[in-house]
A and B are shown apart, each in its own frame.
Chain A
């Protein structure tokens, strides 16, 4: 029984690590700030849930399980709040989303709104984004 719990817990830890790895790929490849925030925050909360659940299965019902619950609660409270504040700060500082409905509202065609590498390299740096 203990070995089965260890294997299942280790599998959950590996699944959480793979989910955070997917988030890292999204943060590296997505075109603008908001899509990167989306990728990072969702995979962080999901990966933290999977990893901490796996560690709780490994540790059994001890005091460490309560500590894992505290870590999980803090991560689940702070990561969405930080992502929301970050998106709010970026939007109020003048960043516009490069894809999605915001471009349609501005009258940009969907084919032009699709990001390419040239636009990613030439725009959206610190100075042009300042209010």
Chain B
């Protein structure tokens, strides 16, 4: 029962993050909303795993936590350099 209340609170917080990602107003607000949404998804997966009696969901939560960070960094790199093919801090030497 308490875990179900925790799931409800997390889902409401994720709805707020989706609203911030929709209304913006800048792209950094949207990236922040995506990152925070991913963190809340990690917690939601863990709590749902215990709620349904399958704690093996924690493996998925670990993988999602790693993917979330890589996604945020890749998004910021893409929005700054408009490409993912060059390393950070280098200028374009050839076309």
Contacts and interface: CB of A to CB of B under 8 A. Distances in A.
Interface of A: 7, 9-11, 13-14, 16-18, 20-21, 23-25, 27-28, 33, 36-37, 40-41, 44, 47-48, 51-52, 54-55, 58-59, 64, 67-68, 70-71, 74-75, 78-79, 81-83, 85-86, 89-90, 93, 95, 120, 124-126, 129
Given A82-B73, A85-B76, A51 B36 contact: no
Interface string B20-38: 1000111111011101100
Is chain B's binding surface mostly helix, strand, loop or mixed?
helix
Given A17-B5, A93-B80, A125-B25, A48 B43 contact: yes
Contacts of A25: 16
Contacts, number: 153
Central interface residue in B20, B25, B62, B76, by most chain A CB within 10 Å: B25
Given A71-B62, A78-B69, A125-B26, A55 B32 contact: no
A82 to B, nearest CB: 5
